[in-house]
Amino acid sequence: MTDNHPLGTHADLYKIERDGRPHSCRPEAEYTEFHRMDIQMREMLEDKSEHCAEELLAGFSAITHYPKTVTIFGSARTPEGIPEYQQARDIAAKIAKEGFAVLTGGGPGIMEAANRGATEAVGYSLGFNINLPFEQTVNPYVTHGLDFDFFSARKMAMFFSAEAYLYFPGGFGTLDELFQMLTLIQTKKAPPTPIILVGETYWRPLDSVIRNTLLEEFKTISPEDLDIYIITDDTAEILEIVKNAPERGAY
């Protein structure tokens, strides 16, 4: 008879006290074991939290050595010889020549292309690598790098104090990084830093979904939210946006 009980099919293992909170009716020995597991989980989470905080602070500390940075995101699966690879390489080189350090996730694909361009321009080529069981290894063009175990700490460090963010075509990870940055700026948790989506063919369909579905049909965003990002393949326009972006702390 417990199928419809608020506590579910195992309601018989609990009782509701006068304070309205469920209390365990399990045997003391069994409860003690569960309590011990809770303590172990809490200790594990505390250890992971400390490790995550250490990684985050290390990333912030690394960025402070470079007065001007541009963070570049994109797929780890884009091989050399693909137009997007060469485009990222060329743009990163030009950005580096303007005195900006180029920061990527440190892996292959678009990240490698951007680091490669910055290194070939004799600029600072930074890489914040994520330790993964597959696909991700530090590319050989990173001149200054850090390794991260936590995606959250790595992503926050890559967001920290850049003068501009460039997004090339990518997968789930790139889209996650894009929409989090859009949300931070939309909610004013981050300053209105330029977000440049490089690759008309890739980004225009997503832009249509944002405009037609989010804005027009469901009204889940505001018209001014469309101004947070720009889509372009024009290298001269990208460089102009980057060069004219306010320096960190000047917003």
CATH of the domain at 202: 3.40.50.450
Q: Is residue 79 domain-resident? A: yes
Q: What is the mean pLDDT of residues 23-42?
A: 66
Q: Is residue 180 domain-resident? A: yes
CA distances in angstroms from 208 to 138, 236, 238, listed in the order given: 35, 25, 21
Work out whether strand 22-24 and strand 14-16 pair parallel, antiparallel, or are unpaired. Answer: antiparallel
Pick left, alpha or beta for residue 94 (phi over 0 → left; psi -120 to 50 → alpha; otherwise beta). Answer: alpha
- The Cα 224–Cα 4 span in angstroms is 46
Q: Is residue 62 domain-resident? A: yes
Range of the domain at 56: 52-244
Query: What is the number of structural domains in the chain?
Result: 1
From the list 166, 189, 224, the residue with the least C-alpha distance to 158 is 166
In the chain, the percentage of residues whose pLDDT exceeds 70 is 83
Torsions phi, psi for 146 (to 5 deg): -135, 150
Q: Is residue 134 domain-resident? A: yes
Q: Is residue 46 domain-resident? A: no
pLDDT of 187 above 80: yes
Q: Is residue 190 domain-resident? A: yes
Q: What is the mean pLDDT of residues 56-69?
A: 93
pLDDT of 7 above 50: no
User: pTM for the full model?
Assistant: 0.83
- For residue 11, the SS3 value is helix
Q: Is residue 83 domain-resident? A: yes
pLDDT of 67 above 70: yes
Q: Is residue 150 domain-resident? A: yes
Max CA separation in the chain (angstroms)? 73
pLDDT of 31 above 70: no
Give first-to-last CA distance, the chain, whole Å: 62
Q: Using pLDDT thresholds of 50, 70 and 90, give the confidence band for residue 125.
A: very high
Least confident interval from 8-17, 37-46, 81-90, 201-210: 8-17
pLDDT of residue 33: 66
